[in-house]
A and B are shown apart, each in its own frame.
Chain A
Amino acid sequence: MKKIQFDNLQETLYNETLDNGLDVYILPKRGFSKTFVTFTTKYGSIDRTFIPRGKNEEVTVPDGIAHFLEHKMFEKEDGDVFQKFSVNGASANAFTSFTRTAYLFSATDKLYDNTEILLDFVQEPYFTEKTVDKEKGIIAQEITMYDDQPDWRLYFGTIENMFHEHPVKIDIAGTVASIQDITADHLYECYETFYHPSNMVLFAVGAVDPAEMMAFIKKNQDAKTFDEPAEIIRSFPTEADTAAKTDRNLVMDVSKPKLNIGMKCNKTDIEGEEMLIQELSAGLVLDILFGRSSEFFTESYNEGLIDESFSYDFTMENGFGFAMVGSDTDQPVELETAIRKTIRDAVENWPITDVELNRMRKKKIGQFMRSLNSPEFIANQFTRYTFNNMNLFDVIPTFEKLTLENLKDAFNTFCDESGHTVYSIVPAVKAK
């Protein structure tokens, strides 16, 4: 077991890669009562075209399958896994993102019983046509729930606008129609391909003894038989740098229009330190250009172009990335102009100096320190970083060494207008 100390943060991380390939990380936190454990596979909604384990031909599976699989992992021949966690006082959950599926629990008691339940339920698939069909009604309601959420529609509509081919544009849960095609065989095929321990990370953080926990996990894994690790061959279409659509809107029953600008990142085939520098820099640039102390924010808020719903964000994974800026607004045209102008002005006359960089650097370091109070943040983010060959604990040293050049480079990956798009939600009464 490796022991990695972060003196400035007063944290110690323990790590070991087990014989079956599973990467285990343990971070004890003093003073905490709970332990938060996540068990995550590097498999999300974008992994829809791949060569199944043991086969030679590429397949494309129905949309929404990674999320469907996540739901179905909880049902076993002897009942529902939530029941077992509940007996041991653990609050369990799972989520599927574009690139990951995570299973997790949080418990203040019976850590090992709960860890065993987590490892065993994720490593013992049980799918039948009957249970698969039964789930379709539940997931259809989940999809319908999201269909009625204007902010989700705005977010996803913007992504659909940006991408021509890349599967990030497909809703994570699929559609009510696409999930009807999912069968138990599909689930097994995806499970066998993506749930091998060598494609997974286990992270435990909180009230945990590292040596005992590691020994417990090892014993559990050693008692199981797995196939040899095999390289996973995923296939992604070529994606142009331009936005697929420039402008679309959707009529919904909302009180105020919503507008969102998406800016596609044109440098996404990166990982490790390069990715860390790019994404931290991009976040800093957005903070400087659009944050609460920016000229844009002050003017737009004073003029009523934006309200408390205003937000901005930079997202990236290997293969896709984008910045978004949006708000509820009574003046969508003016807001669009103001956001575009801020970007254009920065292209023509770079406004960021060391003064802004140093201030935002401090802000970001403080924000990161604050996040380290949260076991949930540490486990989820650490796993995401690991899958992209980055280390969460490099964040502060990286912030400390970022230069104006790094910021400019990151800005240049999404400032080109051909990659920009606008999506809006229009109230029904005001619809044309």
Chain B
Amino acid sequence: MFKKVGLQEGVTLYIRKSEQFKTVNFSVKWKTALDEKKAAHRAVLANVLEDSNGRYQTQTEFRNALDELYGTVLYTDAGKRAETHIVSLSAECVNDEYISEGGVLDEVLSLIQTVIFDPNIKDGKFDDTVVTREKRSVKDRIRSVYDDKTRYAQKRMLELLRPDSAASASSYGTEKDVEALTSADLFAAYESMINDDEIDIYVVGDIDENEMTEKIKSLFTFNPRTVQNRQPVVQQTAKQTTDIKHVLEKQDMKQGKLHLGFSTPVTFGHPDYAKMQVTNGVFGGFAHSKLFMNVREKESMAYYASSSYSSHYGLLYVMAGIDAELEEKAVNLIKEQLSELQAGEITDLEIEQTQALLANGIKSAFDSARGQIEVFDQYKELDENFTADSIISGWEAVTKEDIRKMASEITLEIVYLLSGKGAN
């Protein structure tokens, strides 16, 4: 779906002409081995690059310029996938054909070039005021997870389940690492990101592919770099004991946030990957799934009860918002649903519904430019020539017996409950 153009060793352009959208989307992704300290540095760097640059030295000037370009959106973010940390710079502007004055697209390209190659640096360092302010912002962002009880419970569950690993690491690092960051560290992080990272550049929109490729080649003058194969996730095999960790934590709150962590040897790219996706769908991925139908509809115990498959880390999670007093009943009910799968108590209807909704999900994802970029960026690691149809046929081949086998490779490791139970 994307045309691939090597710009330099380790720097690749993926470009797609599409008349589907009224805007042109850009995304530049810097990828490196995940390390929490490095993540902290890069999260702050991402913020600093979004704030200002050599051409527009204050946030106000920069934002005014973007407003003038018909509200062009330009932002950075930090994320992770498996053992890889990813900083992305995204921009989206209205296609010139929809506005009276032309030249917006070229100006946006030039701005992206400025953000990347001409940062707001004086005497070899970033402006201290900006750095201090953006350190504060990233710390606030890390801390604010506490206020979102579902996210907080999920974070705690992961920390307990897989401490000191990529699975539980924050893509923004820790508050401590952010605090310790100096201006010199930040400059080093910038240099290493620009010169050493693997870089993927995406462009989607109603553009001339050749013309855009030439412009990017001449504007984005990255040096060649050697990209080491980053380590695949080493799946910690589940302890072969029946010991299930059980953790109860308190906050002053009303609902009980029940999060269960399961492990599986089947990860992204494993030959059984498609089978595990369907298994998760039958278990709790949708509104027809066993968890929704039983925990919510049959027992009226929850408003949400679902499972999700974190394939990059070989983990599967179940989450439900319940009355904390009913924890034991809910946990038993969830376990029962998994036991049913393991016993092959699965109807053809459940499988068909799951296959149909997985297919709908991936086809719908391609209906947004962001979706095209994100799905492609992930699946290209398996096969650069994949299509929605090739993925869908993988799901359609999954049988009841496959699901039964997959379910028997799912092991409960932790039950975590965050609630106000007994709190004052």
Q: Which residues of chain A have a CB within 8 Å of any CB of chain B?
A: 8-10, 29-34, 80, 82-83, 86-92, 106-109, 134-139, 141-142, 144-145, 147-151, 206, 252-256, 291-295, 298, 301-302, 304, 307-309, 328, 359-360, 362-367, 369-370, 372-375, 428
Q: List 28 A-B contacts (CB under 8 A).
A: A9-B22, A32-B367, A34-B364, A80-B288, A82-B292, A83-B349, A83-B353, A86-B353, A87-B349, A107-B360, A109-B356, A141-B322, A142-B303, A145-B321, A253-B253, A255-B147, A309-B144, A363-B66, A363-B67, A363-B70, A366-B71, A369-B23, A370-B23, A370-B71, A370-B94, A373-B23, A373-B369, A428-B252
Instruction: Output the least CB separation between B329 and chain A (Å).
Output: 12
Q: Which residue of A lies closest to B423 (CB)?
A: A253
Instruction: Output the least CB separation between A85 and chain B (Å).
Output: 8
Task: Please measure, in the bound complex, the distance between the C-alpha atom of A295 and the C-alpha atom of B13, giving whole angstroms.
Answer: 38
Interface size, B (range): 35 or more
Instruction: Output the least CB separation between B107 and chain A (Å).
Output: 13
- List residues of chain A with CB within 8 A of the CB of B70: 362-363, 365-366, 369
- List residues of chain B with CB within 8 A of the CB of A10: 22, 98
- Knowing A366-B70, A366-B71 touch, does A31 contact B20 (C-beta < 8 A)? yes
Q: Which residue of B lies closest to A364 (CB)?
A: B71
Looking at A10, A136, A137, which has the most chain B CB atoms within 10 Å of its CB? A137
- List residues of chain A with CB within 8 A of the CB of B369: 373
Given contacts A148-B255, A298-B60, A366-B94, 12 further A-B contacts (CB under 8 A): A8-B98, A82-B288, A83-B353, A86-B353, A86-B357, A90-B360, A137-B299, A256-B140, A293-B64, A298-B59, A369-B23, A369-B94
- List residues of chain A with CB within 8 A of the CB of B140: 256, 307-309, 328
Kindly list the 5 A-B residue pairs having the minimum CB-CB distance in the complex, ordered from nearest: A366-B70, A31-B20, A89-B356, A137-B300, A366-B71
- Knowing A32-B367, A138-B303, A369-B70 touch, does A150 contact B147 (C-beta < 8 A)? yes
B363 sits at the interface (CB 8 A): yes
Which of A86, A136, A137, A254 is close to B147, meaning CB atoms less than 8 Å apart?
A254
Q: B288–A83 contact, CB under 8 A?
A: yes
Task: Please measure, in the bound complex, the distance between the C-alpha atom of A308 and the C-alpha atom of B77, giving whole angstroms.
Answer: 13
Q: B368–A373 contact, CB under 8 A?
A: yes
- Knowing A108-B363, A369-B94 touch, does A254 contact B146 (C-beta < 8 A)? yes
Looking at B137, B303, B352, which has the most chain A CB atoms within 10 Å of its CB? B303
Q: Which residue of B lies closest to A360 (CB)?
A: B67
Q: B356–A291 contact, CB under 8 A?
A: no
Task: Please measure, in the bound complex, the distance between the C-alpha atom of A359 and the C-alpha atom of B296, giving whole angstroms.
Answer: 50
Q: B360–A106 contact, CB under 8 A?
A: yes
Task: Please measure, in the bound complex, the distance between the C-alpha atom of A89 and the C-alpha atom of B353, giving whole angstroms.
Answer: 7
Interface residues of B in 68-95 (CB under 8 A from A): 68-73, 92-94
Q: Which residue of A lies closest to B72 (CB)?
A: A366
Instruction: Output the least CB separation between A23 and chain B (Å).
Output: 25
- List residues of chain B with CB within 8 A of the CB of A151: 147
B302 sits at the interface (CB 8 A): yes
Q: Which residue of A lies closest to B148 (CB)?
A: A149
Q: Which residue of A lies closest to B353 (CB)?
A: A86
Task: Please measure, in the bound complex, the distance between the C-alpha atom of A252 and the C-alpha atom of B251, giving whole angstroms.
Answer: 10
- Knowing A91-B360, A304-B136 touch, does A370 contact B254 (C-beta < 8 A)? no
- List residues of chain B with CB within 8 A of the CB of A145: 255, 303-304, 321
Q: A136–B304 contact, CB under 8 A?
A: no
- List residues of chain B with CB within 8 A of the CB of A365: 70-71, 94, 99
- List residues of chain B with CB within 8 A of the CB of A252: 252
Q: A292–B360 contact, CB under 8 A?
A: no
Q: B368–A374 contact, CB under 8 A?
A: yes
- List residues of chain A with CB within 8 A of the CB of B226: none
- Knowing A145-B303, A298-B60 touch, does A375 contact B67 (C-beta < 8 A)? no
- Knowing A8-B98, A253-B253 touch, does A308 contact B353 (C-beta < 8 A)? no
Instruction: Output the least CB separation between B64 and chain A (Å).
Output: 5
Task: Please measure, in the bound complex, the distance between the C-alpha atom of A141 and the C-alpha atom of B256, giving whole angstroms.
Answer: 10
Instruction: Output the least CB separation between B389 and chain A (Å).
Output: 11
Q: B58–A373 contact, CB under 8 A?
A: no
B18 sits at the interface (CB 8 A): yes
B159 sits at the interface (CB 8 A): no
Task: Please measure, in the bound complex, the distance between the C-alpha atom of A331 and the C-alpha atom of B256, giving whole angstroms.
Answer: 31
